[in-house]
Chains A and B, each alone.
Chain A
Amino acid sequence: QQKVQQSPESLIVPEGAMTSLNCTFSDSASQYFAWYRQHSGKAPKALMSIFSNGEKEEGRFTIHLNKASLHFSLHIRDSQPSDSALYLCAVSMDSGTYQRFGTGTKLQVVP
């Protein structure tokens, strides 16, 4: 069964810093990789996703995928207190029908 793991479990960064979150997966046939953000007491919401090796940037957020290393990451430039949330990575099985989620990284951005 696909295993999806995130690191670190929690992270505190100062406002304006670069934040890097990591996700590893075990199934090399996985084809869809996504990051979600969940504010306290709210539903998870998709941030961005990627299909193929490389980088994708959207505003302050960059996702990087290395399938050979079974690893992808999310980088947040100029982190803001409003970025404080639980970040979940997700990987789809080869059919793309459903995703398995990591256990999450709790990010706190302090002013």
Chain B
Amino acid sequence: EAAVTQSPRNKVTVTGGNVTLSCRQTNSHNYMYWYRQDTGHGLRLIHYSYGAGNLQIGDVPDGYKATRTTQEDFFLLLELASPSQTSLYFCASKDRDNQAPLFGEGTRLSVL
């Protein structure tokens, strides 16, 4: 069964801390995405990737780096976390254009 797995599910860090959010899909999907979800803003695209080694900038990339190490794995890096990055983060994947992506269960990040 198709699945997108995120880890950790919850994370608390302090301002200026280093955080890595992980996402793995075993669906052989080409595209992977990182979104953040905040009340009043819906889902906003941070970064996305077409495949291993590829990275594209989304709508709200400031303060975030991403890396697609393999077809399966996509990481989101916050190198100097700030309270404004407190949010619910979703990873998603899909196979082709104009297809609904499959979402992971989310990572709730709190930056104190």
Which positions in A face B, CB cutoff 8 Å?
Answer: 1, 4, 6, 31-32, 34, 36, 42-46, 49, 51, 88, 90, 92, 95-104
Contacts and interface: CB of A to CB of B under 8 A. Distances in A.
Please tell me the size bucket of the interface on B. Answer: 20 to 34
A43 B90 contact: yes
The 8 A-B pairs of least Cβ separation, nearest first, read: A96-B97, A46-B100, A96-B98, A43-B103, A103-B42, A101-B43, A32-B98, A101-B42
A102 B48 CA distance: 18
A90 B43 CA distance: 9
Contacts, number: 51
Contacts of A49: 100
Contacts of A42: 105
A1 B48 CA distance: 17
A36 B42 CA distance: 12
